[in-house]
Structure 1
Amino acid sequence: MLKPNANRPPELKSAREIALMREAGKLVARALKICREMAKPGVKTIEIDQAVEAFYAKYMAVPLFKGYPGKTPFPAVTCLSVNEQVVHGIPGQRVLKEGDLLKIDTACKFNGWCADRAITVPIGTISPEKARLLKIGEETLQIAIDLLPRRKWWSQVASEMQRHVEKAGFSVVTSYVGHGIGRTMHENPQVPNYVDHETRKSDFKLEPGLTLAVEPMVNMRRPEVDTLGDQWTVVTRDRLASVHVEHTLALTSSGVVIVTADEGAFDDDSPAPVAAPPV
């Protein structure tokens, strides 16, 4: 939600710590599965948020968005942003309708470790242009996953992400960036999805132990955004559609671990995560 302090170096994680983050990532993936199943025409966004809050409570996971500080504390455990809303949409009485694009972002802390993920879900049948926008957004995140172990500097990855978006005729939101993540939701480094003079100043080396929340936000036309009067909801200035996708990723000596991946998160035969007793 907010940019981390760029003056501090990234905190590298051990294999054990990444494995603990993966347990939090499984819960986030399962929460988003609930959201996908509920995201239908006629459903109110608050109903989705309440289901996720109940899910986190069941596993004694700490939702990281609710109460997040700002001019007013964020009031929900998910950010649910529709169509022209880019990020930080507040769940409420809005009813989803056929053709909407719903962005769902959520994060939790489990046994002291955090995971953060966002998806964009089409509501019913969406327009071909929205479908292409969603496809490009998801491909852009996949570019980051593919290139992390094959490049030396983050700027080399971000430039490829930006190039893919702009080649398709869309734009990268430059007002918000991804972030490091671990024991807290927002750690260093800042993780932009684009490259310019300023981001090159804070470029960082890609090395084993990095844990990053990579989250491209792609607008249909122009990159400019505004924040609404609720102090949270970010919308495209031209009020055209936007998509937002995100994974928590860990770079290891053997490749990339997708901390918030679906696989292994929904196996009914696997034991449920167990929260550690309070210290």
Structure 2
Amino acid sequence: MKWRGRRGSRNVEDRRRASAGRAVGGLGLGGVLAVLAIGYFLGVDVTPLLQQGGSIGGGSSATITQADEERAEFVSVVLADTEQIWSDIFADQLGRQYRPATLVLFKGVTQSPCGGASGATGPFYCPADRKAYLDTDFFVTLSRKLGAKGDFAAAYVVAHEIAHHVQNELGILEQVNEMRKRVDKAQSNALSVRVELQADCLSGVWAHHAAGRLGTVERGDIAEAMNAARQIGDDTLQRNAGRTPMPHTFTHGTSEQRQRWFARGFSSGNVADCDTFGTSSL
């Protein structure tokens, strides 16, 4: 991916050097239940919030390495690309104005209205504050532990989280979360799969236009994204953890589904082709 020396986004909130601590010892039963509900409906790891007498972020600043700075610069450039592309798509395909998300960079742990953000959560999007959260160390995990190497694999991760912001802008996340309140866990998981596969498809839509309009996609980049989608499929993750894949527990979709929906978005470049809720076959 051609990213070095290119324009970055102004919508990056860098929390890597600052403490993000906030005591949670006085949450009370109502607060604990609210936090648990957020974690259930949004799929966020809230355990840092529930540590008795604990805090989020600690009291010391993180050490920022040169590699950290390079990853942050990369994220900023990819974010700027999503802003340009989605602004055009919203105007051309949806007749609307796109309001960009803020991307929060942190190191170790931080906090969000959707619960605690830590290395254990992985990147996630919080519709409550319209921000995506990312510990750039996740890129190391993605490459070394999950086998998804390459800068475009990392770009796919950023594009996927911004795709959740697109869903939020279109009112999709709100509708789905209302539906989740009325169904059991298995049905809620099934809804989550449709949300995530749609985000994969929208990531493909972004990649389609980044290739055509920005000329930043190089030979092998799409293969990197497809490999990343395969490596983080629910069935692959469960199998690699030594477990038998259990479809009723899936929340993101199988490797094959994630690859296919990304490819669908990349092939067409049309948001309308990413309707995972209007099909009976995922």
TM-score range, shorter chain: under 0.3
- Which structure: greater helix fraction? 2
Determine which structure has the larger strand proportion and give its number: 1
TM-score, normalization by structure 1: 0.25
